Amino acid sequence: MTTENKSGGFLEQVGLCLSVLFYVLFAWHQWWSGVSPRLIRGSAERDAIHHAHLSIGATLFVILVLMLAMWLFRPGASILERLKGAFSTVTHTAISLFFIFMTFAMLCGLAQAWAKGEETPFLGVFKLPHFLDWSWNTAGYNHSAFSNIASALFLGIVFVYLFTHLRRYVKPGVAVAILLIVHLLVNLPKPPSLHPIAAFGTYVLIPSYYLIALALYSWAKHRRLVYWPVFAVFIGFFMYLPYFAFKVLPPWHQKAAAETVLVESTETLVAARPQAEIFATPEALASAKDEATWCTQCHNATESDTHLLGPNLVGVFNRQAGTVEGYGRYSEAMIKKGLEGVFWTRANLSEFLLHGQEFIPGNLMNQQSDLSDPEKRNQVIDYLEYISSK
């Protein structure tokens, strides 16, 4: 998509500027996205980063559409010939797929923001009109899956260019070995509290990308018969990555929500204490809230009728399992548990947070935090009681 014609022309120059702007913004965006999950949801710093994430994403989308339009309407070879060129070698294919997936990923990101009622200011100046009405979940899943495909392709492309241009000085195998060592050295000092998914990404996924890029480069350079299946497996893997990592069902596997059936609790419920009685000091509240921050990457914990990956936790205390209104993505296992009369009492919450899969086999929550310490678990449960009380 980018290389065939090197000679001047106004459009080529504009295209070049757009590409440079695109790569600078993309790198900036990736760095920022990497920083933001470590910050507390709702903090001013995280809000600023989130806003930047949206603005840059919207800007990238506009640039991608402009680049696509330029590619489509550029005079010269027919579209069919150009399409053939765009997929003629492994590098061209990777670049073309990168642009396709990236455009789709950004579109899904916009749809996700719109589904949450957020603005998407273009370069912080004017707003993109809303033109898509996807559910938060559909848009969110696709945004995550396709951004990951695009990022991995991007890494692969950068490496192939590096290998090609440095080949005279260093063999690709040696270059990858050096990259791996540098990558691991840079990432070793990460705190031990590193999230298991982030650890998996850092220590397993990214090194595998390097090795896959090397394998593709040295083994399948110009053999289309080989690289198409490789791309297919690669894309298939990423389409299911949010499922492997967070157990989010891909939109194409989701069924319409069953109607909620309410039953009686099998045990007598002890009403939630008034808020003022739950925590002795403001520090105790702050500490419990801090302990529950981890949960808020998947759960809203403030009054609202919106849900993230998991159901809103306000009011969960003493609620029948699997029955919050408007969520619609409970597993059958969770709904069945509720129908058996299981309500979210202290004991049941404790059991769920400690041995989720034994308590409700096949449930879709992948909490990933270690609450085996009874004190921490109690703090989290206190906090759930607190946000469910008045």
Residues near ligand HEC, by CB under 6 A: 246, 294-295, 297-299, 309-311, 313, 316, 321-322, 324, 330-331, 333-334, 344, 349, 353, 363-369, 371, 380
Q: What is the dihedral of CA 368, 372, 374, 375, to 10 degrees?
A: -60
Instruction: Tell the smallest beta-carbon distance from residue 197 to ligand HEC (Å).
Output: 8
Residue 138 vs 369, nearer CB to ligand HEC: 369
Residue 57 vs 310, nearer CB to ligand HEC: 310
**Are 342 and 348 a contacting pair, CB within 8 Å?**
yes
Residue 152 vs 321, nearer CB to ligand HEC: 321
Kindly tell me the burial class for residue 324, based on how many C-beta atoms sit within 10 Å of its own C-beta (0-12, 13-18, 19 or more).
buried
**Are 348 and 358 a contacting pair, CB within 8 Å?**
no
Structure tokens given for 368: 């990933």
Residue 92 vs 299, nearer CB to ligand HEC: 299
Distances 240 to 154, 246, 249 between C-alpha atoms, Å: 19, 10, 9
Strand, coil or helix: what is 221? coil
Instruction: Tell the smallest beta-carbon distance from residue 348 to ligand HEC (Å).
Output: 9
Residues 46-64: b if buried by 16+ CB within 10 A, e if exposed: beebbebbbbbbbbbbebb
Write 260-263 long-range contacts (CB < 8 A, 24+).
260/323, 260/325, 261/339, 262/320, 262/323, 263/320, 263/338, 263/339, 263/341
Residue 89 vs 260, nearer CB to ligand HEC: 260
Instruction: Tell the smallest beta-carbon distance from residue 249 to ligand HEC (Å).
Output: 9
Residue type, 202: T
Question: How many angstroms separate the CA atoms of 134 and 112, rounded?
Answer: 7
Instruction: Tell the smallest beta-carbon distance from residue 353 to ligand HEC (Å).
Output: 6
Residue 29 vs 299, nearer CB to ligand HEC: 299
Residue 19 vs 135, nearer CB to ligand HEC: 135
Instruction: Tell the smallest beta-carbon distance from residue 324 to ligand HEC (Å).
Output: 4
Instruction: Tell the smallest beta-carbon distance from residue 377 to ligand HEC (Å).
Output: 9
Instruction: Tell the smallest beta-carbon distance from residue 387 to ligand HEC (Å).
Output: 10
Residue type, 13: Q
Kindly tell me the burial class for residue 176, based on how many C-beta atoms sit within 10 Å of its own C-beta (0-12, 13-18, 19 or more).
buried
Residue 47 vs 332, nearer CB to ligand HEC: 332
Instruction: Tell the smallest beta-carbon distance from residue 251 to ligand HEC (Å).
Output: 14
**Are 288 and 275 a contacting pair, CB within 8 Å?**
no
Question: How many angstroms separate the CA atoms of 200 and 181, rounded?
Answer: 17
Strand, coil or helix: what is 139? helix
Which DSSP string do the residues of 278-318 spell out, in sequence order? H-SSHHHHHHHHHHTGGGGGTS--SS-S---SS---TT-TT
Residue 135 vs 331, nearer CB to ligand HEC: 331
Instruction: Tell the smallest beta-carbon distance from residue 369 to ligand HEC (Å).
Output: 5
Residue type, 25: L
Structure tokens given for 271: 């009403």
Instruction: Tell the smallest beta-carbon distance from residue 284 to ligand HEC (Å).
Output: 17
Residue 37 vs 124, nearer CB to ligand HEC: 37
**Are 272 and 382 a contacting pair, CB within 8 Å?**
no
